Amino acid sequence: MALNDTAIRNSKPKATPYKLSDGGGLFLLVNTNGSRWWRYSYRFDGKQKTISLGVYPDVSLKDARAKHAEARKTLAQGVNPSVDRKLEKAARIEDGKNSFEFLARDWVATQLKRLTQSHRDRTLKRFELYLFPWIGNQPIKSIKAPDLLECLRRIQKLNKLETAHRTLQATGQVFRYAVQQGLAPRDITADLRGAIPATTVKHMASLTEPDQVADLLKAIEGFTGGLIVQHALKLAPLVFVRPGELRRAKWADIDLKSAEWKYQVSKTKTEHIVPLSKQALAIFNALHPVSGNREFVFPGAHDPKKPMSDAAINAALKRLGYDTQNDITGHGFRAMARTILHERLNYDPLIIEQQLAHKVPDALGAAYNRTKFLAQRKLMMQHWADYLDALRLGLNVVAIKGKVA
């Protein structure tokens, strides 16, 4: 006699386990502790076998019968349902290891380990917010371009075009990582080129007129915030490195005797040299008694074992009354130097780009070389520092290379 829901609900535990049969080998095992397990008993190769089909009420009578029918179908094909289920479980585990989320996290951990922690966190955050909830648990080989595009469209509807493009770019790298391991046939992101509208290029806010720069330098000179931020703010226009490279400057990379700062550029992974002007050197010398016993030149206020906050420079500029969206940002010192060095001080753009640590191959296609134009760059950096001093002090300046009058 077949089971019904009422009979199952009314089943009570006894001194010993007992079975409630549903026919065809399917039964409900009622244990002494009250738990109720679905079982399917069958014969295979002349031997009695039993497999579990789940726990009631998580698996209802209807669900148990569906699983029972599937197992009987497998048995009719000459396959042991127990072995078949083990293979399915192994396949599910394997699919989990080959899922987009698993591979994306693995890619961030292994392939981005040379980048900053903040960069890795931002990349992973995009995956967690915009991709994992929808395609994270899918085997990467099964994800189609329309599946990914649907996720990117969600980002686009939030008016975050740049985020959509960055997410697509990172996803492409994950797919190529999977292709290299034989886990995906190809990089599907190639099919989505042009699917998301291009972003409008927004340049970092900067000041490029001498009178504006003069006002900024005077404001910086009068900054009364913390000593570490104060010195970082004064150094920023002198060296015009990327803000992340400034705040993560390490004493091990500063050679006070040769007046050089050598480090690896975070963006291009190339070795770079910043010749230090007398003014820049004076700032490092002033800071050495303060932080010279630590790893970072500009240690964090809350944890001196870590570098200064990435928001510190912009926060200081805001305190000085500057709008970091429209006037000047920590990154804007680079545009300021590039423009004035070329337009006012007549320096060759190739020399300027080299000092900015941009990868600009020469006519022969030579790769970036950290010592290229080094002699000229040393002169330029000192001239630049002298020019800024002259602006700050209100002295007359002339656009003659290497001279400030």
Cβ pair 347, 325 in contact under 8 A? no
Within-domain flag for 202: no
Contact indicator for 135, 174 with CB cutoff of 8 Å: no
Residue 383 a catalytic site member = no
Domain co-membership, 253 together with 344 = yes
Task: Return all residues near 77 (Cβ < 8 A) that are at least 6 apart.
Answer: none
Average pLDDT over every residue of 118-139:
90
Q: Is the pLDDT of residue 403 over 50?
A: no
Q: What is the CATH number of the domain that holds 349?
A: 1.10.443.10
Q: Please check whether residues 84 and 105 belong to one and the same domain.
A: no
Query: Which entry of 218, 242, 306, 319 is annotated as an active-site residue?
Result: 242
State the DSSP H helix or E strand holding residue 129, giving kind and residue range, or none if neither.
helix 117-130
pLDDT at 308 over 90: yes
The yes-or-no answer on residue 368 being catalytic is yes
Residue 43 and residue 111 share a domain: no
Same domain, yes or no: 295 and 232: yes
In total, the chain counts a number of residues equal to: 405
Active site residue 42: no
Strands 260-264 and 254-255: antiparallel
Residue of 248, 331, 338, 383 marked active site: 331
Choose the catalytic residue: 39, 160, 358, 372: 358
Q: Specify the pLDDT at position 54.
A: 82
Do 77 and 106 share a structural domain? no
> Residue 88's pLDDT is what?
56
Residue type, 58: D
Distance (Å) of CA 254 to CA 191, 202, 257, 291, 383: 46, 33, 9, 13, 21
Residue 205 lies in a domain: no
Spatial strand order of the sheet with 271-275 comes to 254-255, 260-264, 271-275
How many CB atoms within 10 Å of residue 349? Answer: 12
Q: Could you tell me the CATH number of the domain that includes residue 158?
A: 1.10.150.130
**Residue 75 shares a structural domain with residue 186:** no
Cβ contact 163:126 at 8 Å: yes
Please tell me which residue in 56, 130, 177, 368 is annotated as part of the active site: 368
| Residue 343: domain span | 210-393
Report the sign of the C-alpha dihedral through residues 309, 314, 320, 321, in that order: negative
For this structure, is 334 an active site residue?
Answer: yes
In a domain, 198, yes or no: no
Please indicate, yes or no, whether residues 346 and 221 belong to a single structural domain of this protein: yes
* Cβ pair 20, 11 in contact under 8 A: yes
The answer as to whether 201 is a domain residue is no
- Domain tally for the chain? 3
Q: Is residue 41 part of a domain?
A: yes
Name the pLDDT band for 125 (thresholds 50, 70, 90). Answer: very high
267 is catalytic: yes
With respect to residue 404, please indicate whether it lies within any of the assigned structural domains.
no
One-letter amino acid identity for 159? N
- Residues 338 and 244 both lie in one domain: yes
347 domain residue, yes or no: yes
Is 263 one of the catalytic residues? no
- In the set 334, 338, 383, 392, the catalytic residue is 334
State pLDDT tens for residues 57-108.
888 999 889 888 888 888 888 878 776 565 555 445 454 568 899 889 989 9
